Amino acid sequence: MPSIAKPVARHPSLERNSLGLTIRDYEGSMSTLCAGCGHDSITAAIVRTLWEISMPPHRLVKMSGIGCSSKTPAYFVYGAHGFNSAHGRMPTITTGAIAANRELTYIGVSGDGDSLSIGIGHMCHAIRRNVKMVYLIENNGVYGLTKGQFSASADVGSKSKRGEANRMLPIDPVMLGLSIGATFVARSFSGDKEQLVPILKAAFAHRGMALVDVISPCVTFNDHSGSTKSYLYTRKHEARATETDFVPPATEILASISTNGVTSVTMHDGSVVRFRSLPAGYDPTDRQKVMSYLQERQSSGEIVTGLLFADETVADLHEANNTCDAPLNDLPYEKLCPGAETLNWLQDEFR
């Protein structure tokens, strides 16, 4: 049941963050996913990230749709409100929640079925609105919860557990996001916490929507030899575009780190994200170049990972709509009601 996990004396050895909380305080209920499911590793990365950035648990809001992936918000941060909503509709409900209260921090956890089929329209429009949230896709190429049908992210030639091959071209959330103006795009691998944690930190610091696609093998239905979303295949074909360094606000940038091939982007909250480009000349702030690079590498069978693109100059939903700073759910009624006198004279217009 919900209750904030307070710093507990039982774990005196556990390290505490600036709120005095241990990493245990960022956990949720026991996962009911299959042992070895990629989604559980992502949950662990989320827990670590939130602990490291000292997120006050009750100021976090966890949103999801329906799917194995969408169950995971129950498995992290007990002390946060969550909403396990309807299949594909997470972006709409999150957009509404953010409309009502811009002060909280939002993470939406989705699957490739949830976001690339039934909810693809909603995802695209949430991207276009630059809704300020971390939008995480736990991408396994199948519908886990309904027992292994191909999803829209299954690669051509990828084989189902029963041996059928997929013939349709996949929808790649990264390319899709880039093509419709996503302002933060990353791809990672559930098995790579070292890469995922700094990406997630940067994602939480982003001004608008941070789209994070994480390859997350489904051990039950899609981790066999014909699958391109298996542990083995992903490890073999991964090509890193960047390495990310997250520097929290007001932290001196260490001079010892070489600035060779490094792009620094100052995030909305004052933190700095430093990308080290692995292939020479990779520029994570140039949308066109990023898209052509990704296309080129992907056509030769590589899965490009890293924080791939970021643009901190684009207004989020609220900024674009000139909404007041105070959360809309907290404005005093006196501010909202024009009153009887106004109603009386405004009706002269209707005479």
Partner 1 sequence: MRESTHSGVNDFAVKLANVNGTGSASANGLLMQAIFRMGIPVSGKNLFPSNIQGLPTWYEIRVNGAGYTARALDYDLMVAMNAQTYARDIKEVRSGGHVLYDSSWPLDKSLYREDVEFLPVPFARMCNERFREPRERTLMKNIAYAGTLVAILDIDMPIVEELLTERFAGKVALRESNRQALRIGYDYAKEHFSCPLPFHLRRMDANHDKILIDGNTATALGCVYAGATVAAWYPITPATSVMDAFKEFCEKYRRDPQTGRNNYLIIQAEDELAAIGMVIGASWNGARAFTSTAGPGVSLMNELLGLAYYSEIPAVLIDVQRVGPSTGMPTRTQQGDILECAYASHGDTKHILLIPANPAECFDFAVKSFDLAERFQTPVMMLSDLDIGMNDWVVPRLQWDDAYRPDRGRVLSEEDLKDLPKFYRYANGDENHVAARTVPGVHPNGAYVTRGSGHNKFGEYTETPSEYQEVVDRLEAKHKAAANFVPAPIVASSGAQWGVITIGGCDAAVREAVDLLHERGIVLDYMRIRGFPFAEAVETFMRDHELCFVVEQNRDAQLHSLLVLETGIPKDRLRPVLVYGGFPLSARKVIEGILTHSEIDERTGRLMPVVRDLEETTCPR
Q: By the criterion CB under 8 A, which residues form the site for partner 1?
A: 1-4, 57-59, 61-62, 73-74, 78-86, 89, 91-101, 103-104, 121-122, 124-125, 129, 317-318, 321-325, 328-331, 333, 335-340, 342-344, 347, 350-351
For residue 112, the partner it binds in ligand SF4, Mg ion, partner 1, none, with Cβ less than 5 to 8 A by kind, is Mg ion
Segment interacting with ligand SF4 (CB under 6 A) among 213-221, 254-262, 296-304, 319-327: 213-221
Helix (H, G, I), strand (E, B) or coil at 145: coil
244's tokens: 């990310």
Q: Using the rule CB under 6 A, is 68 a contact of ligand SF4?
A: yes
DSSP 216-245: ---TTTS-STT-SSSHHHHHHHEEE-EEEE
Q: Give the range of 83-91, 103-111, 203-211, 343-351 binding Mg ion by CB under 5 A.
A: 103-111
Distance CA 250, CA 45 (A): 24
* Interface with ligand TPP in residues 86-105 (CB under 6 A): 87
Select from 112, 155, 243, 245 the one that contacts Mg ion (CB under 5 A). 112
90-98, 140-148, 227-235, 309-317 -> range binding ligand SF4 (CB under 6 A):
140-148
64 touches ligand TPP by CB under 6 A: no
* CA atoms of 108 and 214, how far apart (whole Å): 13
Q: Tell me: does residue 145 bind ligand TPP (CB under 6 A).
A: yes
> Residue 275 corresponds to which amino acid?
F
Stretch that binds ligand TPP, among 137-145, 190-198, 206-214, 331-339 (CB under 6 A): 137-145
Q: Rounded to the nearest whole angstrom, what is the least distance from the CB of residue 220 to ligand SF4 in the complex?
A: 4
**Residue of 98, 123, 126, 142 that binds ligand TPP (CB under 6 A):** 142
| Touching Mg ion, residues 135-154 (CB under 5 A) | 140
Of 57, 91, 111, 148, the one binding Mg ion (CB under 5 A) is 111
Among 130, 220, 230, 234, contact with ligand SF4 (rule: CB under 6 A): 220
Does position 116 bind ligand SF4 by CB under 6 A?
Answer: no
| 102 backbone dihedrals φ, ψ, rounded to 5° | -80, -5
* 233 vs 309 by CB, closer to ligand TPP: 233
Reduced to 3 states (helix: H, G, I; strand: E, B; else coil), residue 184 is: strand
Which residues, 6+ apart, have CB-to-CB distance to 24 below 8 Å? 5, 8, 11, 14
Residue 276: strand pairing partners: 243, 262
> SS3 of 61, please?
strand
Distance CA 317, CA 177 (A): 16
Least separation in angstroms between CB 154 and Mg ion: 10
Told to check if 69 binds ligand TPP by CB under 6 A, we report: yes
Exposure b/e, 98-108, CB count within 10 A at least 16 = b: bbeebebbbbb
- Give long-range contacts, CB 8 A cutoff, 24+ apart: 192-198: 192/305, 193/41, 193/44, 193/45, 193/48, 195/240, 195/243, 195/244, 195/305, 195/306, 196/42, 196/45, 196/49, 197/45, 197/48, 197/49, 197/52, 198/244, 198/245, 198/246, 198/307
Q: Does 160 bind Mg ion (CB under 5 A)?
A: no
Site of interaction with ligand SF4 (CB under 6 A): 33-34, 37, 39, 68, 140, 144-145, 218-221
Site of interaction with ligand TPP (CB under 6 A): 66-69, 87, 111-114, 138, 140, 142-146, 151
